[in-house]
Amino acid sequence: MGCPKYGLNINPSKTQILMNKYVTRSDIDILNTRIEISQKVKYLGRTFADDGSLTEEVARRIRAGWAAFNAIRRELLQSPQKTRIRLLTTTVIPAMTYGCETWTSKEADTKRLQRAVSNMFEIAGCDPPDMEKQVLRRKLKWAGHVSRMKYDRWAKIVSEWDPRGSARPRGRPPKRWADDIKDSIKIFIHNEALRGNLGHGRRRIGILEARRAWSTVGRDRVTWRSLESATDCGDLANEESPALTSWKISCSTVNGMPATARWRQAAKATTEWNGMAYKMEYAERSKTTRSISA
């Protein structure tokens, strides 16, 4: 071991090794001591599992939330409602969302968080927040920081690392953190389009472009902060939603202006295309295209 050469000492009895499921496990000895290979390791307040699941970490976050809630329970129930909401928002929610910026969470994990928060807020007599929104906004905030980092930062390197010489296994592969960010942006675009809040000019182009290159758009703080503040998942978090599917067709047609009649007919058949905002956008884009061609 070269650690003592640099002034580092290893305590084998306190050392654990975490391997992913794709690595062939073998015994490892350091200083004539067998090192324990664990299925989960706690590091910097976060539980890491060898299969990459968040089951244990979400359970720890829920326990931390209840601990924070019980610590202020007496004062909480004796305070006005506005004070109760502020106390819960500044103590319980941060305890339950600690480290969520790096999660690639499943729907079941979010539902577990939501049930726990709903129980706490019900005891306090307050309306619970949407935990899906809480987690998503923190993810987008961290993604914006990562996109603006220099390329020598570890967070930047790991986020954009693409292993060469290896292929993902057959079947539906596990969802990656970057995939979660892309899906969240798609849902945001859909909701904002239904409200007519996509805007015009630079903001609209930037938001639509974020679907494909979020790391590039994240360098623009103004556009990215609009994503953070306006993200709203609601009932459209399911990618199989018919409304989301039809919006993808409409948005692709408006943004890309395919020349085929098939795409135009498919877009016009969707519910969203009947809205005035889409007709105006299509007319404006067509006018611009004709002027450039002329």
**Mind listing the pLDDT tens digit for each residue in 113-161?**
999 999 999 999 989 988 888 888 888 889 888 888 888 888 888 887 7
Reported pTM: 0.66
> Can you give the pLDDT at residue 274?
46
Q: Cα(88)–Cα(69) distance, rounded to whole angstroms?
A: 7
List phi, psi (to 5°) of 47: -95, 120
Mean pLDDT of the chain: 72
> Can you give the pLDDT at residue 279?
44
**Mind listing the pLDDT tens digit for each residue in 175-200?**
788 887 877 777 666 655 555 555 54
Within a 10 A sphere around the Cβ of 115, how many other Cβ atoms? 13
> Can you give the pLDDT at residue 245?
40
> Can you give the pLDDT at residue 180?
79
- Rounded to a whole number, what is the distance in angstroms from the first to the last CA of the chain? 71
36-38/16-18 β-pairing: parallel
Within a 10 A sphere around the Cβ of 233, how many other Cβ atoms? 18
- What residues in the chain have per-residue pLDDT under 70? 1-3, 165, 187-213, 226-227, 229-294
> Can you give the pLDDT at residue 66?
95
Reduced 3-state DSSP string for the chain: CCCHHHCCCCCHHHCEEECCCCCCCCCCEECCEECEEECEEEECCEEEECCCCCHHHHHHHHHHHHHHHHHCHHHHHCCCHHHHHHHHHHHHHHHHCCCHHHCCCCHHHHHHHHHHHHHHHHHHCCCCCCHHHHHHHHHHHHHHHHHCCCCCCHHHHHHCCCCCCCCCCCCCCCCCHHHHHHHHHHHHHHHHHHHCCCCCHHHHHHHHHCCCCHHHHCCCHHHHHHHHHHCCCHHHHCCCCHHHHHHHHHHHHHHHCCCCHHHHHHHHCCCHHHCHHHHHHHHHHHHHHHHHHC
> Can you give the pLDDT at residue 231?
58
Smallest CA-to-CA distance from 108 within 55, 32, 181 is with: 55
Within a 10 A sphere around the Cβ of 65, how many other Cβ atoms? 24
> Can you give the pLDDT at residue 271?
44
